Amino acid sequence: MKKILLTGSRGFFGSRFIRSLGRDYEIIATTSDSLKITIRSDVENIISAVKPDYVVHAAAIAETDFCNKNPERCRAVNVEGTMHFADAVKKTGSRLVFLSTEQVFNGNAEAGPYTESDTPVPDTEYGKNKLEAESYIISECRDYLILRCTWMFGVPSKGLPVSPNLLWNTMQMILKGEPFKVPANEYRGITYIDDMLDRFNTILGLPEGVYHTGSVNNMSRYETVCHIFDALGIGSRIPELVIRDDEKYSGSPRDVRLDTSAARGLGIVFPDTAESLSRCISENYLRV
Ligand SMILES: NC(=O)c1ccc[n+]([C@@H]2O[C@H](COP(=O)([O-])OP(=O)(O)OC[C@H]3O[C@@H](n4cnc5c(N)ncnc54)[C@H](OP(=O)(O)O)[C@@H]3O)[C@@H](O)[C@H]2O)c1
């Protein structure tokens, strides 16, 4: 059985990764308690002891506001922590799989969808960290995959944590019962975490490189939220609860969609966001 050393195993992605891939791989799951990724020798030691086939590096401080307010701490984790893995895998030949983000394109003047050959211009500390880590991996690693992911969604599941995501955030606002604003000038991919994990075995076998992965979503954020209401069976409550915000990003729409055709051409095909939201809602019996 091939071995995967996983970081961030208590997170939204990592905890579900173990549940999805744990039968097919021996997963050595690390947490911020068991492995200090900011300490180079600790990373070197575990990589040389385990000699994994893959390192799936999902640990990160992924909160944009927190990173903007704590740039040094976040760079130490998001950039230096990644550098330690990029250096350590040189000795074992392990493939480094790095979870990056569409947020590397946040500051681009031109609108998405972006391909892998577009030059990213991040404008947040988190986006800058991810891009710097990517560049280091590309320059130093002999075998790597960099997966630029769109915003992933899922719902709480027994024993598994949930990060803020569009489906869960929307459901929480519905439960509050107060009207909330949703931008009509924002476009981004939204991917069901289960769809990502269902494809991960194939993803691990992709040729080395940088890939844009996830569901295509050509709906605005407002339209996506309305779709969630419809899929939940409460479309009639949209006028009461959803305030269409035409002001935010009105000067220049925010469009960080990813062009995923390169990965699609290699067999990594996702359903679109509308279909995945509907399926997640029905699979989890969320329709009212
Ligand atoms: N979720 C998304 O929509 C999305 C989209 C694009 C890219 N990504 C990327 O995908 C990865 C996983 O995201 P996620 O949603 O699962 O994030 P998450 O729920 O915030 O989990 C991140 C994990 O990183 C670990 N971590 C933080 N600081 C650490 C440190 N100093 N040392 C070791 N581990 C540390 C935490 O471990 P402990 O719990 O053990 O403290 C946490 O469980 C991240 O790299 C993120 O940037 C996520």
Q: 204 near 24, Cβ under 8 Å? A: no
From the options 3.40.50.720, 2.130.10.10, 3.50.50.100, 3.30.470.30, give the CATH code of 3-152+189-213. Answer: 3.40.50.720
Q: What averages of pLDDT result for each successive group of 10 residues across the chain (288 residues)?
A: 98 97 98 98 98 98 98 98 98 98 97 98 98 98 97 93 96 96 98 98 98 98 98 97 97 96 98 98 87
| Distance from residue 157's CA to the centre of ligand 1 (Å) | 17
CA dist 49 and 51 (Å) reads 6
Atom of ligand 1 nearest to the CA of 31: 40
DSSP class per residue in 52-83: -SEEEE------HHHHHH-HHHHHIIIIIHHH
Q: What fold does the segment set 160-188+217-255+271-283 form as a domain? A: UDP-galactose 4-epimerase; domain 1 (3.90.25)
Measured in Å, residue 242 CA sits from the centre of ligand 1 at 30
Global pTM reads 0.98
Question: Domains of the chain: which residue ranges?
Answer: 3-152+189-213, 160-188+217-255+271-283
138 CA to centre of ligand 1 in angstroms: 21
Specify the residue with its C-alpha closest to ligand 1, atom 32.
32
Q: Is the dihedral of CA 209, 150, 103, 217 positive or negative?
A: positive
Q: Whose CA is nearest to atom 36 of ligand 1?
A: 8
